[in-house]
Every structure is written in C-alpha cells, then in structure tokens.
Amino acid sequence: MAISLLKTRTRQIGTGAWQSVEEYSCPNSQLVGEAATLWARTPAGPWSTQAAPVAVDVGYEKNAYRVGGGTVPSGRIVAVYRTLTVDEYMERVTNKGVVLVKSLARGEQIVTDRDDNIIQGIDPTDITGRTVWKIVEGSSLAAKPQTVFTVHACVRSKSMYIDAFTSFLGYTNSTFMTQLGKWGAGKRELLLVQIGAQPTRYKKSHYWVDYAFLWTGERGKTWDTITLARKFERKAVQIPQLDTDGVEVTGGEKVVHTLVPTEDTRSARVYTSENFDRINRLCLW
C-alpha cells in the first residue's frame, strides 16, 4: 500500500505568505522514509515561486488508522508548509543579509554660527589671544542627524565574515555600497563601528552576524574629512591695568602670559578606508 493524501488545508497568513497543512496515511513500515520525502517537497498552490511554502514541521504516528476498517494498521503523517520569514530564509540559505536602519540625533558642540562667525572659543583674529567668545544664553549643542545602518546576515564562514572584519572597526568604506547607498550614503560616508556574532539555533558552524555602519545623516560629509589644527603660542602680552572698579588706570600696564593664535595650521586624516564589498554582497538577493 502506498502513501495516500487524505486532506489538505490551505490559508493565506500574510501579504504574499501562505500556509498549507497536508495529512497522509501510510504503512507503518514506510513512515520514516515518506516523512523525509515530504520534508523536501514544495506543494503546488496559488502562490508565486518566491512565496512558495516550504516544510517547517513534519510529524508522524504509527497505528493511526485501520485500512478499510480492517485489521491492517496504518500510520499518519502531518506535514506543515509555510512561507518562510526573512530570518528563516536567511538561516536556511546562508550568506544572505538585510539592512536595518535606525536614525537619531546627536549633540554637537557649536563653535561657529551659520555664517561661520565664531561664537565659542578664542577669536583667531585677535593676535593677542585675549578675545574669547562664550555662549551665555541658549544651548551650546546643536542636534545633528545621525543614522546607523546594520547589515543583519546569516553566514556559514566565521573566518571570512567575522574574523576578517574585526580588524576593520573604525574604517570607512572605500567603495559604493549598493544597499546602504540607496538611503543616501556614499563613499567614505559610512564608518564601521560595531560587529556582533552568535551561532544559529541549531547549527553552531553557522552564525548570525551584525555589521553596524555609522552615517552622519548628511550627504557629502565623509568621515574621511581632514582634521585641522591651529598652532597657538604662549606669549607675554601687555594688557591695561584696572582698578577695583574695573576702570583702566592711566599709564598702568601689566604683562601676562596668554595663548596667541598663529597662522600655522596642520591637517591630518583620522580614518583609513577599506573595501566592504563582501559585506555588501550579503544583501544582494
């Protein structure tokens, strides 16, 4: 006696997602083999190839039926097929990933106003270094946009996708990353700031891995921007002497040491670039 399909129940469980439950009768001696065959089967139905349900649970029991009401026992197999979630699909078909996006605002210290006039710090136009601007009302922090892109993926090679990139924390991307770039980020605008990894539920040789890239939220503003430093010299400078009322004493001057800005500047690059194309390819599916 061969396996026999008794009934099928099909329902839609979401947008483009389906579930199908099939019940079979089968000779006890064939239960294990037939259940394994059903596990690899893709049922036919009103769904597209991408949304086709796959087996998520196949169970069987002996002596569930009597063939034709007689004395010959027969087993039962129940196979549950369902459209996989994104994480389930990535776990079955490894080296796949998706992009997670989180945007927030960070506080950035204000130094100049919108017209590039200094409003906080030593005024570089005063060669004596005595002119200092301070904010006396309102916030000294500006809320700047910032976005974190996380490539969430399931990979089967720890050495290729985890170990290889831990040494690149703090590196900017040197190439255009397609899936992250569609949000507006370009070359050298993404900074790798965090890597997390853990084994999958049932297979310790496969890993869930998360690569977090930081973006300033502003197009054209790269992490590779040159950092500029200005040289200050401590010099003895003559300043007016004041009395207890704060009035300048006629003919009175005193000499003090203060920082005086010079014209000498020094530029430096803080970040190194690296090609993260291998991480980018995880998302191209």
215 against 64, higher pLDDT: 215
- DSSP string over 45-82: SSS-STT--EEEEEEEEEEEEEGGGSS-EEEEEEEEEE
d(CA 209, CA 169): 14
**What pLDDT, on a 0 to 100 scale, did the predictor assign at position 218?**
85
Residue 270 contacts by C-beta under 8 Å, 6 or more apart in sequence?
A: 223, 227
Q: Which two tokens stand for residue 56?
A: 């998520």
For 3-36, the pLDDT digits (tens) are 889 999 999 998 889 999 999 998 888 999 999 9
**What pLDDT, on a 0 to 100 scale, did the predictor assign at position 128?**
78
Cα 280 to the center of its chain, rounded Å: 12
**What pLDDT, on a 0 to 100 scale, did the predictor assign at position 69?**
60
* Low-confidence winner among 91-100, 122-131, 174-183 (lowest mean pLDDT): 122-131
Q: Give residue limits of the domains in the chain.
A: 4-84, 92-224+270-281, 228-268
For 42-61, the pLDDT digits (tens) are 888 888 887 899 999 999 99
For 68-78, the pLDDT digits (tens) are 666 678 899 99
